[in-house]
Amino acid sequence: MAVKSRVLIVGGTGYVGKRMVKASLAQGHTTYVLRRREIGLDIDKLQMLLSFKAQGAHLIEGSFSDHQSLVDAVKQVDVVICTMSGVHFRSHNLMLQLQLVQAIKEAGNVKRFLPSEFGIDPARMADALEPGRVTFDEKMIVRKAIEDAGIPFTYISANCFAGYFAGSLSQMGTLIPSTDKVCLYGDGNVKAVYMDEDDIATYAIKTIDDPRTLNKTVYLRPPENILSQRELVGLWEKLIRKELEKSSISAEEFLAIMKGLNFAEQVGIGHFYHIFFDGCLTNFEIGEGGEEASKLYPEVQYTRMHEYLKRYL
């Protein structure tokens, strides 16, 4: 059997990161997690890191304020997965990711890098609306740095995290499914893709030693999780045995909400608009340069959304 890669997770205590640590250990990889010096007195982060260690992970101390510590950390592994936070850290996150790319370039030993993507494919969002396009533009800057440095990569396009998009029935401003009413985007029939976050990590880890995913974008688009908002609501209605009262909002009305919102909310509106009105997750065929995860790994029993939603009952 081929030797499994050693994996370093940067951002391991985060929402996606902790699942990546779990999946990496579960799939038998020697797993390292960056323990940033800056966490200081954050007892929850420290306890989580210690729990990773108890499960078999190795903690590597390092800091983005000490570049050599990043290079040294990277030198110990074959694969680096970055799960640092997204839009709310904006340009700060961009600079940190670029610094990590530089460390990987200097270390010179990494066989695969997964940058912090895990969403809409930024390469398809060249015409995205302001200000939400910042997310895609920044991810493309990181991609360019990776590719200019000749670092082998896999980009994971994870579509909609179920915790944000399915539990809420894709409503903004809530994480819990309503039991009385829901607002549909337009006719509610545009197809999105909803993904259990643990499955995202399982698929991502599957790609790292797979030659089929080298220098490719892997789209997580398992067929039964390609659902319109209306279909998602239908699954919930079946579970609660009740029909929700439905209203609808047009694209123009939805975009008009943006005025008066703060920056992060405006970014969110843009992303929702592209997903639920444009259909940006499903309005293209995966062509050359891309692979679909459930086709590559049919053995993964991915979570269907009627199962996922049961946790809210």
Question: Rule CB under 6 A: which residues touch ligand NAP?
Answer: 11-17, 34, 36, 39, 45, 64, 83-86, 89, 92, 96, 116-119, 158, 160-161, 164
- Using the minimum distance from each CB to ligand NAP, give the nearer residue, 163 or 237: 163
Helix (H) or strand (E) holding 285: none
Q: State which residue, 46 or 240, has the beta carbon closest to ligand NAP.
A: 46
| Minimum distance, C-beta of residue 45 to ligand NAP, in the bound complex (Å) | 6
Q: Are 216 and 289 in contact (CB under 8 A)?
A: yes
Roughly what angle, to the nearest 10 degrees, separates helices 197-207 and 17-26? 50
What is the C-alpha to C-alpha distance for residues 217 and 101, in angstroms, rounded to an integer? 18
Compare residues 138 and 209 and give the one whose CB is closer to ligand NAP: 138
Distance in Å, CB of 246 to ligand NAP, minimum? 24
CB nearer to ligand NAP: pick between 6 and 45: 45
Q: Is residue 192 within 8 Å of residue 229, measured between CB atoms?
A: yes
Q: Is 139 a catalytic site residue?
A: yes
Q: Which of 139, 181, 216, 238 is catalytic?
A: 139
Q: Which residues touch 288 (CB under 8 Å, ≥6 apart)?
A: none
The burial class, CB within 10 Å (0-12 / 13-18 / 19+), for 68 is: exposed
Query: CB 211 → ligand NAP: shortest distance, Å?
Result: 25
Alpha-carbon distance of 203 to 90, in angstroms, equals 26
CB of 1 to ligand NAP, least distance (A): 31
Residues marked active site are found at: 139
